[in-house]
Amino acid sequence: MNEHLVESVRGAIEWAALAIEILGAVVIVAGVLRVAITRGTIRFLFKLDEPGAFGSYKTQMGRSLLLGLEFLVAGDVVRTVALDPTLVNVSVLGLLVLVRTFLSWSLAVEIEGHWPWQPRPVAHPSAHDPARHSEGAG
């Protein structure tokens, strides 16, 4: 009976890890399709000269990739730590997490324009900011 319970728990953990990894892949694919369809990849290619067109497109695509990578890392962690925490498996997990963390940081730098440990750049109010003009008008 105890062995049957252990196998049931192992099976549930395996399914949970698989579901998390599938969710990560679905997030990536759905995000890429959403950006390609709603932003219109062909339209985007004709708007490359517009200011901010590439940055906006890249930001939307990067967010989907970042979220999907987080799910993939979570699935790997669940599978390795809960099912078979041998030294080899944990080492492989560490390498996977290292590579995916580097990818996540690289995407974050592309999206936000700074490393995750750096403070966000302070946005200066522009001369065309209506709130700024209304403060001095009263």
The model's pTM: 0.68
pLDDT of res. 102: 86
Of 86 and 15, which is predicted with more confidence? 15
Sign of the C-alpha dihedral computed for residues 98, 104, 106 and 112 taken in this order: negative
CA distances from 91 to 81, 94, 98, 99 (A): 11, 5, 10, 12
pLDDT of res. 97: 83
- Three-state secondary structure call for residue 125: coil
CB 97 within 8 A of CB 80: no
Give per-residue pLDDT as tens, 75-86. 988 888 887 778
Tally Cβ neighbours within 10 Å of residue 90: 13
Helices (H), the chain: 2-38, 41-46, 53-83, 87-112, 130-137
pLDDT category at 20 given cuts 50, 70, 90 is very high
CB 68 within 8 A of CB 56: no
pLDDT of res. 108: 80
